[in-house]
């Protein structure tokens, strides 16, 4: 994103270059004959143990291919109730991956190359997750639940750098990601355009999950679910990544996260604002009915339960259930696969340093508002603001059949 400055623009190219996946097939969830069935996460693989007895989940697990392969957060309507694509749809994805790989050019001495990928075709051929229709698995239709009436009202009143028709007059017109504070949680656990590395460290009693873009989580591990839940912070204490406490259930590490910074984007007090639980930084395909714009509120009741299960020597299945009864009318759950790639390099997300974007947006917007008041320029509205495009899905899954040509367009194959 240009708004994140030159450092992050270079990180886009660097992260693309790093994605030279040569993974061997990973043991994971096989696509069933009935494409509307999502089998349970397999638990037949037994990881090695660390010296103190915990299962070894350490390593680097970039989720870049999910983004590059355009496996979307919400399920495209064309897939209906299917968790899996059929062979024809998968072949379209595979062909798109081949084209993307074909555009790859090694960076020159200045670090500049083309926007193609390297290894995306191989990832599609070796990962069953590449046949999934979306990251979201519950509700079963692959669509986010509706917002409650009060949450919808706060969403419509919310302010961020993405809202159509909104002027910029001060820093309270930007969300936490615009200001390089946080992508929010659980938004930070999902892929975006770049900096999609996840690195796991373990020590006795702790797991640390380092995210390449704005976030590090330290999870204290307890002897039981009851002990972990009893150790929850006081309600008044909140953090951008929340209070994460874990326990083992067999070979699965369960992590409960509460005390996530609560609030909304309607308030002008930046110290009382929350980050959206899902936002444009999650590859989130929002609409006005399932809100985008980074203005979805978060209440003090928000919490997540994650389940991390090693499904092969180089693969972790990550399940996350989010609930906030004040905001969503029902909980929702995602399931994505992390694949080990220890050669993947993390690149600094130098966002706040030299982040001149808010100042420039404010200066330009104030000048524009002065021209509008003087009658020299048309007023900006939601209808004529190009940010209105963020109310529509901005990624297309190549597995979905190509859209019909516009009316009056010549038949395919003719100029």
The Cα angle at residue 281 between residues 275 and 284, in degrees rounded to 5: 100
Q: Which of 82-91, 108-117, 301-310, 323-332 has the lowest mean pLDDT?
A: 108-117
Residue 11 has pLDDT above 50, yes or no: no
**Structural tokens at position 110:** 């200045």
Residue 338 has pLDDT above 60, yes or no: yes
Please give the sequence-ordered ranges of beta strands (E in DSSP) within 143-269, or none if there are none.
Answer: 198-203, 206-211, 215-222, 243-249, 252-258
**Contact status, residue 33 vs residue 83, Cβ threshold 8 Å:** no
Residue with tokens 């809202």: 163
Dihedral sign from CA coordinates of 297, 298, 301, 307: positive
**Most confident among 91-100, 197-206, 275-284 (mean pLDDT):** 197-206
Residue 410 has pLDDT above 60, yes or no: no
**Contact status, residue 96 vs residue 123, Cβ threshold 8 Å:** no
Confidence band, pLDDT 50/70/90 cuts, at residue 5 = very low
Average pLDDT of the chain, as a whole number: 86
Q: Which of 127-141, 149-163, 343-357, 396-410 has the lowest mean pLDDT?
A: 396-410
Q: Tell me 169's DSSP state.
A: -
Confidence band, pLDDT 50/70/90 cuts, at residue 24 = very low
Pairing type for strands 243-249 and 252-258 reads antiparallel
Provide mean pLDDT across the span 17-34: 60
Q: Which of 50-64, 193-207, 235-249, 279-293 has the lowest mean pLDDT?
A: 279-293
Cβ-based burial of 143 (10 A; exposed 0-12, middle 13-18, buried ≥19): middle
User: From edge to edge, which strands make up the β-sheet containing 206-211?
Assistant: 59-60, 198-203, 206-211, 215-222, 243-249, 252-258, 303-312, 315-323, 332-339, 136-138
Confidence band, pLDDT 50/70/90 cuts, at residue 109 = confident
Contacts of 156 (CB under 8 A, 6+ apart): none
Domain positions in the chain are: 43-65+136-391
**Contact status, residue 193 vs residue 67, Cβ threshold 8 Å:** yes
What phi, psi does 187 have (nearest 5°)?
-50, -35
CA-CA distance, 238 to 242, in Å (whole number)?
6
CA-CA distance, 309 to 384, in Å (whole number)?
47
Per-residue DSSP letters for 270-327? GGG----SS-GGGT----SSS--TT---B-TT-EEEEEEEEEETTEEEEEEEEE-TTT
Least Cα distance to 147 among 158, 162, 137 occurs for 158
């Amino acid at each position: 994103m240009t708004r994140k400055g030159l450092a992050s623009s270079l990180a886009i190219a660097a992260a693309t270059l790093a994605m030279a996946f040569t993974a061997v097939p990973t043991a994971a969830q096989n696509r069933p004959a009935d494409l509307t069935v999502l089998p349970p996460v397999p638990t037949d693989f037994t990881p090695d143990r660390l010296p103190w007895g915990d299962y070894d989940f350490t390593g680097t697990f970039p989720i870049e291919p999910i983004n590059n392969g355009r496996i979307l957060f919400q399920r495209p309507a064309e897939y209906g109730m299917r968790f899996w694509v059929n062979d024809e749809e998968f072949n379209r994805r595979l062909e798109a991956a081949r084209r993307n790989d074909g555009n790859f050019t090694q960076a020159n001495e200045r670090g500049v190359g083309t926007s193609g990928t390297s290894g995306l075709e191989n990832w599609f051929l070796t990962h069953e997750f590449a046949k999934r229709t979306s990251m979201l698995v519950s509700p079963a239709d692959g669509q986010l639940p509706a917002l409650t009436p009060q949450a919808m009202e706060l969403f419509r009143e919310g302010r961020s750098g993405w809202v159509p028709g909104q002027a910029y007059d001060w820093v309270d017109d930007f969300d936490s990601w615009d200001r390089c504070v946080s992508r929010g949680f659980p938004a930070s656990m999902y892929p975006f355009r770049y900096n999609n590395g996840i690195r796991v460290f373990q020590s006795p009693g702790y797991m640390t999950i380092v995210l390449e873009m704005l976030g590090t989580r330290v999870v204290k591990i307890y002897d039981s679910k009851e002990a972990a839940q009893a150790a929850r912070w006081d309600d008044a204490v909140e953090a951008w990544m929340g209070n994460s406490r874990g326990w083992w259930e067999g070979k699965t590490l369960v992590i409960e996260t509460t005390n996530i910074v609560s609030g909304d984007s309607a308030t002008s007090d930046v110290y009382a604002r929350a980050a959206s639980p899902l936002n444009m930084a999650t590859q989130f395909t929002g609409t006005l009915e399932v809100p985008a714009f980074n203005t979805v509120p978060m209440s003090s009741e928000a919490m997540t339960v994650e389940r991390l299960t090693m499904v092969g020597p180089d693969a972790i299945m990550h399940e996350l259930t989010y609930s906030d009864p004040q905001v969503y009318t029902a909980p929702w759950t995602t399931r994505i696969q992390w694949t080990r790639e220890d050669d993947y390099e993390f690149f600094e997300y130098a966002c706040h340093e030299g982040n001149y974007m808010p100042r420039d947006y404010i200066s330009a917007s104030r000048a524009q508002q002065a021209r509008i008041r003087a009658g020299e320029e048309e007023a900006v509205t939601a209808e004529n603001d190009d940010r209105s495009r963020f109310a529509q899905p901005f990624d297309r899954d190549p597995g979905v059949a190509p859209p019909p040509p516009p009316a009056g367009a010549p038949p395919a194959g003719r100029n």
